[in-house]
C-alpha cells in the first residue's frame, strides 16, 4: 500500500510539474521587442488635380505597423509593404495599394553612404505597367525606405523593375 501511495504521489508531482512548466514556459517570440514602422500606401482622393488623379506622392498615406526588432528593419518594412495588408478601417478611408504583386519579392537590401539599394525578384514582370501605376508603386517603396535615418535615397534593382 505504501508503494502505491508513493507512485500516486510521484505521478501527482509530475503532473503538477508538467502543468507548471507549460504555464510558465514561453516562446522567445512572445517577449520579442517590436519596432514601429510606417508603410506608405496610396489614397487617390488626396492626389487630385486637373484631369483627376495626378499619380504623385501627394496621395501617399503613412500607416503604422510594428515589425519584430531586427538589425535590418528596412528589409522587414519593405517585405511588409509588399504584402499589401491594408485593414478594413484603412480601406474605408480610401487607402489602397496594388501590392501584393504575384512573384514580386525583395531579395536584398543594402544601405551604403545613405543609398538604399533594394533588389527585387519579379519573374512575372508585375512591377511594370503604365507610368501612373509605376510611379505610385515606386513612391510607396521609396517613402517606406526613407523613414529610416540611414536612408537618404533609394535605388531599385534590377533597373528594369518598377519601370513603365
- What per-residue confidence (pLDDT) applies to 65? 97
Q: What is the pLDDT of residues 98-143, one digit of tens each?
A: 999 999 999 999 999 999 999 999 999 999 999 999 999 999 999 9
Omega before residue 100 within 30° of 0, cis: yes
Contacts of 73 (CB under 8 A, 6+ apart): 35, 37, 67, 148
Question: Rounded mean pLDDT of the chain?
Answer: 87
Contacts of 109 (CB under 8 A, 6+ apart): 72, 74, 75, 78, 116, 117, 118, 119
Contacts of 93 (CB under 8 A, 6+ apart): 43, 61
- What per-residue confidence (pLDDT) applies to 17? 44
Q: Which helix (H) or strand (E) holds 143?
A: helix 131-146
Residue 24 clears pLDDT 90, i.e. is over it? no
- What per-residue confidence (pLDDT) applies to 20? 42
What is the average pLDDT across 67-86? Answer: 96
Contacts of 134 (CB under 8 A, 6+ apart): 127, 128, 162, 163, 164
Q: What is the percentage of the chain residues whose pLDDT exceeds 90? A: 80
What is the average pLDDT across 67-92? Answer: 96
Amino acid at each position: 500500500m505504501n508503494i502505491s501511495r508513493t507512485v500516486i504521489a510521484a505521478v501527482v508531482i509530475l503532473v503538477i510539474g508538467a502543468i507548471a512548466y507549460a504555464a510558465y514556459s514561453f516562446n522567445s517570440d512572445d517577449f520579442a521587442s517590436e519596432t514601429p514602422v510606417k508603410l506608405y500606401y496610396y489614397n487617390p482622393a488626396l492626389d487630385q488635380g486637373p484631369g483627376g488623379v495626378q499619380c504623385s506622392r501627394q496621395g501617399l498615406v503613412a500607416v503604422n505597423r510594428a515589425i519584430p526588432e531586427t538589425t535590418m528593419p528596412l528589409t522587414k518594412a519593405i517585405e511588409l509593404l509588399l504584402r499589401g495588408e491594408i485593414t478594413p478601417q484603412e480601406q474605408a478611408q480610401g487607402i489602397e495599394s496594388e501590392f501584393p504583386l504575384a512573384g514580386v519579392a525583395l531579395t536584398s537590401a543594402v544601405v551604403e553612404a545613405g543609398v538604399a539599394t533594394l533588389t527585387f525578384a519579379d519573374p512575372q514582370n508585375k512591377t511594370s505597367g503604365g507610368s501612373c501605376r509605376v510611379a505610385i508603386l515606386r513612391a510607396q517603396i521609396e517613402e517606406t525606405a526613407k523613414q529610416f535615418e540611414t536612408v537618404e535615397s533609394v535605388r531599385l534593382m534590377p533597373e528594369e523593375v518598377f519601370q513603365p
